[in-house]
Amino acid sequence: MWLLRRTNAFVSDLERDLSLLTDAASLRDILDASIFFSTSMGRIGSEFQSLLPPIFHRRLTKFVVKKWADGVSTMSETLRLCREAGVAGPLMSTASTNESDLNPSQHARSSPAEILSPPRRLLALPPLARFVNSFLDGLNELRRCLLPGSKGPLVSSSLVVFSEVESLLVANERAVLKPGLRGDATRLRYAASETKKEFVGCVRPFLIVTLRHAIGDLDARDFSEEGGSKQTDRDELEDE
């Protein structure tokens, strides 16, 4: 009974203190140490390794989703500030793209390395490019500590994020189309339209491909409307 109480106390303290971590590399180090400790306790009949996966899965998912959420927040704030100031400069760039990058069929015939490279066309729309960087930054955490139990929550959370971004862009386009928009109204409306179009036609498919490569070759149905019915509320993953 004493061993059981001490084990439960350790697991509770572990889950609480994991909330202080800020990167997956540290999470992996603590996971390795916890597994070693659990194996050692097994010599006296108190092995608790089965209690560890849920704790670490949740924390890893929160690392990734937090970076995605930051990307959405940054985009929302950029669109709001530019809309209120009537300035379209930060929303568009004169960056050039080649013709093959604009051709989806050509992109589909590219090598895996090329497919996983962000489309250069996004350089013309800085808010979208920054969001893509935030999404990929979240996936980079998986290189350090990829846990199988995080696959489902990450897919569900990605669907939530995609839905949030699409709703944000639709709302932004409606806002700039209202009469009385001050400043560079024409360019603001053009930027809003192009950003929404590129997210649906370019960014979302690209990020789905990168997520599938990061966590395994998932069934495409995981990202369908049916898959959306299994979404995990992102707020539950960020309640700490």
DSSP state of 233: P
Whole-structure pTM over 0.85, yes or no? Answer: no
**How confident is the model at residue 104, as a pLDDT?**
44
**How confident is the model at residue 219, as a pLDDT?**
60
Tell whether the torsion through CA atoms of 28, 30, 35 and 40 is positive or negative. Answer: positive
Looking at 42-124, list the stretches that DSSP marks H as alpha helix, in order from N- to C-terminal side. 52-85, 104-108, 112-115
- With a cut of 70, list the residues of the chain below it in pLDDT: 95-115, 217-240
Token digits of residue 97: 């793209």
**How confident is the model at residue 195, as a pLDDT?**
95
